[in-house]
Amino acid sequence: MTSRIILGTHNKKKCQELQHLLQPLGLQLQSLAELDEALVVEETADNFLDNARLKAAEQARHLSAWTIGEDSGLCVPYLKGAPGVLSARYSDPGANDARNNEKLLRELASASGSQRQGYYVSTIALADPVGEIVIEAEGRCWGRIIREYRGSGGFGYDPLFELVEYHQTFAELGPTVKAVLSHRARALEKFIRQLKGILPLSPSA
């Protein structure tokens, strides 16, 4: 297996986070932004794992390259799992981070205590160059949705998502701490354990 892997996302901030977490492995990582021929894969599934599989498999077949697909979002049980797989498009039409966060605050305006609990989930799939899924992993991180924005880092719902035991939001924690505690970090930890079985990694991994 080659050490070249495509990061199958057009989300620049998500790509940067994946690159940061995978960098110690000594892999040759490429983002879709570097590939003019890359597809735009529609997230048509109703769950995170199938969306990750879809993005990995379709891009891998098209590029004839090992490809990571990742899908993630925020789930609030009080809102019956919303925003869920629609996390990035929660406030459509014209969805963006600010509008999504404002909608979430409105939806939770009357919620209190445990009703404001939620979790981030990240699912990761690796497809080989013919589009067969060879690795799947999932990570979750529980917290609560606060009523005001705090912090300037991160993206998505990070300024509203507080890790209760740290009394800080993901936007306040910074990339070093987030690289250990986040849903994406936890999914990648499981992913890397499986990856080591099929790929020669650098000694530091």
Ordered by where they begin, the domains of the chain are: 4-195 (3.90.950.10)
Ranked by mean pLDDT, which of 105-119, 167-181, 184-198 comes out on top?
105-119
pLDDT of residue 1: 55
Record the pTM: 0.89
Whole-angstrom distance, CA of residue 205 vs CA of residue 193: 10
- How confident is the model over 10-31, as a mean pLDDT? 84
Element (H, E) at 62: helix 48-63
pLDDT over threshold 80, residue 111: yes
* Mean pLDDT, range 67-84, rounded to an integer: 98
Residue 205 pLDDT class (50, 70, 90 cuts): very low
Q: How far apart are CA 116 and CA 89, in angstroms?
A: 20
Is residue 46 part of the annotated active site? The answer reads: no
Give exposure, 122-151, as e/b (b: 16+ Cβ within 10 Å).
bbbbbbbeebebebbbbbebebbbbeeebb
Once rounded to an integer, what is the mean pLDDT over residues 132-139?
98
Cα first-last separation, the chain: 17
Q: Please identify which of the residues 71, 92, 97, 128 carries the catalytic annotation.
A: 71
Residue 203 pLDDT: 44
The percentage of residues in the chain with a pLDDT greater than 90, rounded to a whole number, is 72
| Statement: residue 59 has pLDDT above 80 | yes
Rounded to an integer, what distance in angstroms lies between the CA atom of residue 25 and that of residue 8? 18
